[in-house]
Chains A and B, each alone.
Chain A
Amino acid sequence: MNPSSMVVWRSWLLSETPQSRNQARLGRLYRGWLAFKTNRLAVVGLSLVLLLCLMALFADLLSPYSPINGGDLRTERLLGPSWEHPFGTDGQARDILSRILHGSRLTLLVVGLVAIITTPIGLLIGTASGFFGGWIDASLMRLTDIFLAFPRLILALAFVAALGPGIENAILAIAITSWPPYARLARAETLTIRDTDYLSAIRLQGASAFRIIWGHIVPICLPSVIVRVTLDMAGIILTAAGLGFLGLGAQPPLPEWGAMVADGRRFLIDQWWVPTVPGIAIFVVSLGFNLLGDGLRDVMDPKESE
């Protein structure tokens, strides 16, 4: 794109009198991006998250070795960092870099699935609770409070214990324990718009409750819930890694980072890189999500930020 057309685009996006809904929407997004861009740490966070996505996408191309099958157990076990193996090899002569690269897929899978499962549950319970009020509100919020009052990791542990270890069950357990804040948030948002005129107008037109909630309330609650989910992603990653570390998440030989730390524990003293490198990966990714979430919150809700 040449500079002059950039200017045209920019003025179109920042126009005070948008000609269409889409222009207004895009303009709002662009303004958000401009505000977001000034926060350097948030941009770092976004880059880290994008890096994770790229890693996951191109893991096959980037990895020099197989993440599952190791090399020669007699000569290639626990090698230190070198040109052939930038992060060394683990106890089964597998290249740690390749495992980290493939592990990014599992991390992304966990984060993505938990978000996909919990966001609709939270939205549904929260909006229904706020919209209908009365006993529905009371009982749904009581349920939410009960789940909110539990220690999350412990509850997830108990669920995994019941369902059996494995990455799918770990995802399910984390999802079951992490929807309540979204329900609370969605309810609060619903309450602020429940009595507005445009909703009354829609109701008078005879729209069903489902249609009102799905078509008119949910879209309004969605942005703040998405920000909240982003803010929670670091916590989700840490919980998943913790479950993996305890041997309850992804099972070997899957290259899940938490499980890799647990697997490398034995070599801590003499081959420190084996448990350390996957830990760094977890740390960097969750730092990225934390920074991104903070930045998003600042853009969406300047009041909260200091």
Chain B
Amino acid sequence: MTVDGTSTEEKLPSSTTLILFLRGTLGLFFSVLLTLLGLLLVTFLIGRVVPVDPVLAMVGDRASASVYEKARIELGLDRPLLEQFWIYLQKVLTGDFGTSVLTANKVIDDISRVFPATFELATFGILIGTLVGIPLGVMAAVRRGSLSDQFVRIFGLVGYSAPIFWLGLLSLLIFYAKLDWTAGPGRLDISYDYIVSPETGLLLLDSALQGEWEVFRNTFSHIILPASLLGYYSMAYISRMTRSLMLNELNQEYIVTARVKGLSESRIIWGHALRNAAVPLVTVIALSYANLLEGSVLTETVFAWPGLGQYLTNSLQNADMNAVLGSTIVVGVVFVGLNLFSDLLYRLLDPRVRFTR
């Protein structure tokens, strides 16, 4: 430590708090690593209990015993389970999820091709969910017990209770088939294919950057329905949490102080109460973002959205285990990563939890 004698007394507490903070963060990372290891163990075990014999799938059922045995050794299935898991770990950590039987590509290549579509959809969805959900929650908290509060509650309950795939079908029926307000399933009309070169893989961004506004409009018209649907689901959760967090803040004494000071009501609500509720809200939003990834599996199936969810269901229906497990691992890692991110952010923003573990 390069601290001179005079200021040691002042510096010491801050360095201990730093150590505490680092220790807490380190503990967090350790538990995340353990979780990821658990995820890989589960996928490994799932891969082992599949009723489909991987050797048989490779050599066919008319192969002789010696060919079968050779393939079995080649796949490493004759070794102890622990050693197999070790080999599996090494492979997965280098991004080797094996080859998809369905597409004959490496699973990792397939996933990196379809992932941007899901990312774009989920991000658009969480934007809608946040931008609508927070004001709704604030309104419900401020006018507690009023008709609008009841409305927000019912609105959220419907979101919690309706099957997302069914709402997706209904919205297609109404907004696409009957009213013709939006484009149908898929990500882009065929006539617009190959106009925009995929730079980021996010069609909205690519088309805007390349000035192809017609493509942009078409993309927007395709994404708006599934994104609103996903947004609605996260909105139900976000508005509910915003409401209870805001109610908590509005009962605090500093709100009374602000009122006594003569601040305007909108300043109190948006500038003071919401600001203090914002810290836990960040966690809520990160969690619903992670949940959106899950919801996207069903939504993508309904809207024929060429993302990870559809890739996963397609592989499931064709018993393409490498692809299934690869997608599961990717979604799991993103999920765990978002959880870690929200935890870290929470620690950083809220001094009260910064030093605990």
A binding-site residues for B, Cβ under 8 Å: 142-143, 145-147, 149-155, 157-164, 234, 238, 241-242, 245-248, 258, 261-262, 265, 268-269, 272, 275-276, 278-279, 282-283, 286-287, 290-291, 306
Contacts and interface: CB of A to CB of B under 8 A. Distances in A.
Contacts of A278: 166
Contacts of B18: none
Residue from B163, B165, B297, B332 whose CB has the most chain A CB atoms within 10 Å: B163
Contacts of A160: 316
Given A151-B294, A238-B163, A242-B163, A158 B43 contact: yes
B38 A146 contact: yes
A149 B33 CA distance: 12
Nearest to B38: A146
Contacts of A275: 166, 169
A146 B39 contact: yes
Contacts of B177: 268-269
Given A161-B321, A246-B316, A287-B158, A154 B331 contact: yes
Interface in B223-274: 243-244, 247
Contacts of B161: 234, 238, 283, 286-287, 290
B313 A283 contact: no
Contacts of B46: 158-159, 161-162
Q: A-side binding surface: helix, strand, loop or mixed?
A: helix
B163 A283 contact: yes
Contacts of B169: 261, 265, 268, 275-276, 279
Given A145-B35, A275-B166, A154 B328 contact: yes
Interface string B40-66: 001100110111000000000000000
Given A157-B328, A279-B169, A286-B160, 18 more contacts: A146-B35, A149-B39, A149-B335, A149-B336, A155-B42, A157-B316, A157-B324, A158-B46, A159-B46, A161-B316, A161-B324, A162-B51, A245-B163, A261-B169, A269-B177, A276-B169, A290-B157, A306-B244
A157 B312 contact: yes
Interface of B: 31, 34-35, 38-39, 42-43, 46-47, 49-51, 144, 157-158, 160-167, 169-170, 172-173, 177, 243-244, 247, 290-291, 293-294, 297-298, 301, 312-313, 316-317, 319, 321, 324-325, 327-328, 331-332, 335-336, 339
B281 to A, nearest CB: 17
Contacts of A162: 46-47, 49-51, 321
Contacts of A153: 294, 297-298
Contacts of A163: 49, 51
Contacts of A245: 163, 165, 298, 301
A242 B190 CA distance: 29
B344 to A, nearest CB: 15
Contact of A261 (B160, B166, B336): B166
Residue from A161, A248, A279, A287 whose CB has the most chain B CB atoms within 10 Å: A161
Nearest to A245: B165
A124 B104 CA distance: 45
A126 to B, nearest CB: 18
16 contacts: A143-B38, A149-B339, A150-B335, A151-B293, A151-B294, A153-B298, A154-B335, A161-B319, A162-B47, A242-B298, A246-B298, A261-B166, A265-B169, A279-B170, A282-B162, A306-B243
Contacts of B290: 151
Given A146-B35, A268-B177, A279 B166 contact: yes
